[in-house]
Amino acid sequence: MNTPVSDVHARAGTHHGDAVRDMFDGIAPTYDRLNRILSMGVDRRWRKRAVELLGVGSSDRVLDLCAGTMDLAADVQKLRPARIVAADFAADMLEAGKHKVPGAERVVADAMNMPFDDAEFSRVVCGFGMRNLSDTHKGAREVLRVLAPKGVFVTLEFFRPTRIDTRLFHAAYGRYVLPTVGSLVSGRGEAYRYLRDSMNGFFTRSEYEDILRDSGFVNVTGHDLLFGIAAIVRAERAA
Ligand SMILES: C[S@@+](CC[C@H](N)C(=O)[O-])C[C@H]1O[C@@H](n2cnc3c(N)ncnc32)[C@H](O)[C@@H]1O
């Protein structure tokens, strides 16, 4: 049975947040199709790897943060945890994906100001969401707050690449493929130019790992995917 979208409204509070939310609401109907085309299906493998590193068991309470159309929540659901919550501030993204995870609670909320209790979750996963936040440090501290002691936080993200070949690939892909295909399929080329700029402007994986350590996470480890085109960072809250 579908749980109705919570009436907890996004509290973006910033122009950046409002613009990002409106953009994702706008591309929600075509988001999944474009993801498959743009990644040629590779994103599915990346998500599975992220969920493996999350290490979900039957007693876990899992938060899919910046859940979008809930692909990660759908992979988590296969492991039958005690609870799955999908949170995103773009209600239309959650709505577009709700059929994939009928048992999940959907909550419209800002990742930097979540309506959850301290230590409410034993696992938090965030796919391609952290780089959209106007304040990454604030987002990291908020994840730590809602995570229980010994809890695990996994980030799947397009970090700013450091390898020269990967940087060239990112640059060419962002310049030619993203806006062109994005515009053709969604009619919103500007949204896919934003995605390109958000990748270029984000931290490298090792800078992000330092942010997590500075925020209080322990055992922070990173794993590059496909020559660093994307990467996964796993971190824990201390016992
Ligand atoms: C690129 S999509 C990724 C969606 C999904 N996690 C996936 O793996 O496909 C980024 C998502 O982050 C959400 N988002 C961005 N900033 C947010 C914020 N401050 N609070 C909550 N959600 C946010 C957007 O609405 C969007 O659905």
Shortest-distance Cα residue to atom 15 of ligand 1:
132
Cβ of 90 closer than 6 Å to ligand 1, yes or no, is yes
Q: What token pair was written down for 90?
A: 């773009």
Residue 172 lies in a domain: yes
Separation of alpha carbons 211 and 153, rounded Å:
13
Is pLDDT above 70 for 69? Answer: yes
The pLDDT of residue 184 is above 80: no
What's the 102 CA to ligand 1 centre distance in angstroms?
Answer: 19
85-128: pLDDT as tens digits:
999 999 999 999 999 999 999 999 999 999 999 999 999 999 99
17 lines ligand 1 (CB under 6 A): yes
Asked if residue 111 has its Cβ within 6 Å of ligand 1, the reply is: yes
Question: In which domain, by residue range, is 143 found?
Answer: 15-236
Contacts of 194 (CB under 8 A, 6+ apart): 20, 23
Question: What CATH number should be reported for the domain holding residue 117?
Answer: 3.40.50.150
Find out whether the beta carbon of 88 lies less than 6 Å from any atom of ligand 1.
Answer: yes
Residue 111 CA to ligand 1 center (angstroms) comes to 9
Q: Tell whether ligand 1 has an atom less than 6 A from the beta carbon of residue 121.
A: no
Least confident of 52-66, 67-81, 108-122, 223-237: 223-237
Q: How far apart are CA 177 and CA 193, in angstroms?
A: 10
Q: Give the atom of ligand 1 at the shortest distance from the alpha carbon of 47.
A: 8
C-beta 209 within 6 A of ligand 1: no
**CA angle, residues 175, 176, 178, in degrees to nearest 5:** 85
What tens digit of pLDDT does each residue of 74-84 get?
999 999 999 99
With respect to residue 210, please indicate whether it lies within any of the assigned structural domains.
yes
- pLDDT at residue 9 greater than cutoff 50: no
Cα of 2 vs centre of ligand 1, distance in Å, is: 21
- The closest alpha carbon to 195, from 220, 173, 228, 217, belongs to 173
pLDDT band at residue 14 using 50, 70 and 90 as cut-offs: low
- Mutation choice for ligand 1 from 27, 124, 132, CB with most ligand atoms inside 8 A: 132
Q: pLDDT at position 5, please? A: 32
* Structural domain total, the chain: 1
- pTM of the predicted protein model: 0.90
Rounded distance from Cα 137 to ligand 1 centre (Å): 16
**Is residue 10 assigned to a domain?**
no
Which of 24, 76, 141, 178 for a ligand 1 pocket mutation test, highest count of atoms within 8 Å of Cβ? 24
On whether residue 125 sits in a domain, the answer given is: yes
Q: Is position 9 within any domain? A: no
> Which residues are CB-neighbours of 185 under 8 A, at least 6 positions away?
30, 33, 34, 37
Q: For ligand 1, is residue 23 a contact (CB within 6 Å)? A: no
In a domain, 6, yes or no: no
Chain-centroid distance, C-alpha 4? 21
